[in-house]
Amino acid sequence: MDKLQAMRTFVRVVEAGSFSAVAHEADVTQGAISKQVAALETELGARLLTRTTRSLALTEEGARYFEQVQRLLAEIAEAEGALRTGEQQLSGWLRVAASVGFGRLKLMPIVQAFLAEHRDVKVDLRLHDSFIDLVEHGIDVAVRIGELADSSLIARRIGTTHRMLVAHRNYLRHLPQGLTAPRIPMDLAAHNCLVYTETVSRNAWNFTAGAGAEVPAGTSQVVRVQGNLQTNSSEVMRASLLAGMGIGYSPTWLFEQELASGELQRLLPDWEAVPMPIHLVSPQQRRHSAKVKAFAEFVGRALA
């Protein structure tokens, strides 16, 4: 038995909460993962996990062992990282998470460039519009857009997302009689506004007056909008806006080509939408990973 590997497997099983999740990560059978943990228990002469058909739970001995082994593995990773003399030595899997739209439009080209520079690294890119538990899913590093909740994650700010009010030209051409394009934020109350639900603000859209607004610069207004569609998918939001279904409050990077061509038009240009920070976040136990550090620096440079 490779005891060190068995210890790593045990820690990942506890973090993920199942044998099957770790088996999927390692591309082996669930039985192989279970045998590693069973062999470790035999070696130690102690039961570490209580298994049922639906869940796993640490025994009292297992909880003490898990805490000690997790700390030991972090120290080993730190020692190995200190021996690395160049990024060209990076190898193995790097599990990265991001939102669907940002991942497809912005992160994927950066990942391609990173892989071209580090031939021995393999990236498992997982795209979700909701925030997933990084430890449970074995994620090394994730891109988070928006204000971060207090947590134990290691965070590094790498940029800012600017948003704007947008609508397709066909939506604006076919407004009901008597309705015109919004001139001030409060006009949005009369329009069909499409709501993206994976932000804290949801349908409360916040604007700050610029120099050309009819009110003093810096004046803040919040409009609670409504419409016939809300979604937790950035891709559905993108498709709906391009179909001319309504007005959106969206990141500029989601529609760069359409804005440049005039297909999509910016509304209320004298009012600024509240920007959102972009962070790279990692679990505490990944803080010594040379791959994570190299990837974070690479993404930071690319988005600078």
Domain 163-274, architecture per CATH = 3-Layer(aba) Sandwich (3.40)
Question: What is the domain class of 3-83 according to CATH?
Answer: mainly alpha
Q: List every span in the chain annotated with CATH 3.40.190.290.
A: 163-274
Q: List every span in the chain annotated with CATH 3.40.190.10.
A: 88-158+277-303
Where does 201-297 show beta strands of DSSP type E? 204-209, 220-224, 230-231, 247-251, 264-267, 271-273, 276-282
pLDDT computed for residue 53 by the predictor? 65
pLDDT computed for residue 78 by the predictor? 62
Task: State residue 45 phi and psi, 5-degree precision.
Answer: 70, 35
Where does 21-153 show beta strands of DSSP type E? 49-51, 56-58, 92-98, 121-127, 141-145
Q: Which residue has the higher pLDDT, 71 or 50?
A: 50
Mean pLDDT of the chain: 89
pLDDT computed for residue 73 by the predictor? 81
- Give, rounded to a whole angstrom, the gap between the first and last alpha carbons of the chain: 46
Q: List every span in the chain annotated with CATH 1.10.10.10.
A: 3-83
Give the integer Cα–Cα distance in Å for 6 and 35. Answer: 9
Helix (H, G, I), strand (E, B), or coil: what is residue 118? coil
Give the integer Cα–Cα distance in Å for 132 and 142. Answer: 9
Give the integer Cα–Cα distance in Å for 175 and 269. Answer: 20
What is 88-158+277-303's CATH superfamily?
Periplasmic binding protein-like II (3.40.190.10)
pLDDT computed for residue 88 by the predictor? 46
Residue of 231, 232, 186 lying closest to 205 (CA atoms):
186
pLDDT computed for residue 304 by the predictor? 78
Find the mean pLDDT for residues 134-156. Answer: 85
**51: confidence class by pLDDT, cuts 50, 70, 90:** confident
Give the integer Cα–Cα distance in Å for 71 and 89. Answer: 24
pLDDT tens, residue by residue, 84-129: 554 446 888 899 999 999 999 999 999 999 999 998 899 999 999 9
**186: confidence class by pLDDT, cuts 50, 70, 90:** very high
- Cβ neighbors of 83 (< 8 A, separation 6 or more) are none
Give the integer Cα–Cα distance in Å for 284 and 77. Answer: 12
Q: Tokens 């990077």, residue? A: 253
β-strands 49-51, 276-282 pairing: unpaired
pTM: 0.73
**18: confidence class by pLDDT, cuts 50, 70, 90:** confident
pLDDT tens, residue by residue, 231-248: 999 999 999 999 999 999
The residue count of the chain comes to: 304
**79: confidence class by pLDDT, cuts 50, 70, 90:** low
* Share above pLDDT 70 across residues of the chain, in percent, rounded to a whole number: 95
